[in-house]
Structure 1
């Protein structure tokens, strides 16, 4: 009989004795208290041992990074006015670009039937069309790549039994949200391809649909990023017994992240209406603190979504509120948090200063593409740091 089997039999016999049970109990049920998923690991080529949770966490964080790339690429597509160059939605066939001159000519002819060509780009050449076409194509192709990055590893992990029931539901939700995001993207583009009666302005997509498209992308990013952090970061072992107002700080952080999210959404209305080109001065809007036409439309609610001056004004106000909230959160929580949470708060304060500077510079220089894209990327960086801080606060141990 092997020695390990004999030892197990002896332990089981001794456990029948009441006095020895309390002594040997922590030794015997190791396999029953530690889950198989925690015991199993994957060895990487360099000898590193990474748990399943780490692998899943890095996968989700990588997918969240790809979503960031899609948002940034979508912003550049919007800034270069390339989003209406592809006039059809073909999720499968659309992967293949035109390869011959005849195919490019046919694609260009489809674009010539669109309102954007008729009222804005009627003098565009085929080579110029190819450039804006490839911008939109890259954005759509990147979205498909995110789908592959989520679905293929998910299928592998599912077959291997790595996904818990809760994680299966979350991955299914991420996949469904990504599919819905693709539909929203086409729904948004379609609004710019419909010729309106008495067309008198440059064709553009609906700012409402643009906001929905961006908002769903931010929700997808937040979900992937949060789950990735949950699987890769261990809770800090530094107890915070002296922090009596931890709950207040958590609520403060939640409100701050909500403001960051709301400010990013308001930026979609600024972008959709090209409202960044209305008042290119700071801190005043022309010579006034509040523009005179801020409530020019009737009913009044339309001004917040359709009035160029009002959308820029409210985006500025939300930016100020976000900055004040981040600064207040940092002041209230400084020297009270564990090291990692304090680092997240410090970086959040630094990033909000960078973001405000980028916004002002973008405005004063009449929205150049590099600065505007950097400003949009900054909103994602700000949201990431806010989520990280929320995550750290949620997992602080209490004594």
Structure 2
């Protein structure tokens, strides 16, 4: 073996999902390729592997040697890491003496004081958490500072520097802000999370289902419809799963409702009529925010089902169980997954046992009925 790079393997259907420790990347490999990688990692020589492969596939030895050398080069390529100069120089950055906006958010019995140096930073955070705002409080549990310096957004939590992000990486700041929130709410450090998924999580008080899909497919709208029909919103857009019990944990952000879904939801949520509208130019979307019906932000539940959901005008209801490999390739790119080996193993084990579905619908009632059946394990999987 050429270095200390470690791998994890999980056979799924007719492929092998492989995790690479040096890059924290997951790849879906053909079983033959995964087998070569396993032997390389055990120190078996290229020549020995090539001879066996040449005989098995009935191809010239030089071709199999070239293939293995090319694979070895790609696998063991050095990992480059770009770091902001602020990681070294942040101590020289002066915090503002004045913050234009200060907000207080109450999440169960925890009170967060968040100070923003300008309206720009406020806009990055506040809309999703405005429903949690309370009046000025002296009983502060945690204090967050968000300010702009030299075109970078700086973030401090309880006087500790967390990071600094440029405008083009602002979504990483927003993700880190959310991660700091869940760590404080649920008393778990970053290493105690298996992953965070770009999804919507709905529960029936016993377990939860994750809704996934490209932006505009209707996962948040579907969540809002289900919330109005007896289900609970556990999380929207930012769905954390802990490593110890593999439970989805509650996240208190509001549900983001796109402009073209407002008319559909107004009969159920008249408050959307006069709610503020936010235009996110980078994402090319206009949204309003809907308060989740969750009353216990400490809540956490197991998840056994992923549903890729799509609203399609005038379509008949279509529901089918889909390939896990197909689901995996959709799930992973938009997810944050822990770089720790033990957490990667738990993720692979969890994914291996979940059910994956695709729902396409236009009739809301039929969609709700179908989701109810999935919760009850009463869905036709063919």
Could you state the TM-score of these two structures normalised by the residue count of structure 1? 0.22
Q: Higher relative contact order at CA 8 Å, sep ≥6: structure 1 or structure 2? A: 1
Could you state the TM-score of these two structures normalised by the residue count of structure 2? 0.22
Per residue, is there more helix in 1 or in 2? Answer: 1
Question: Rg larger in 1 or in 2?
Answer: 1
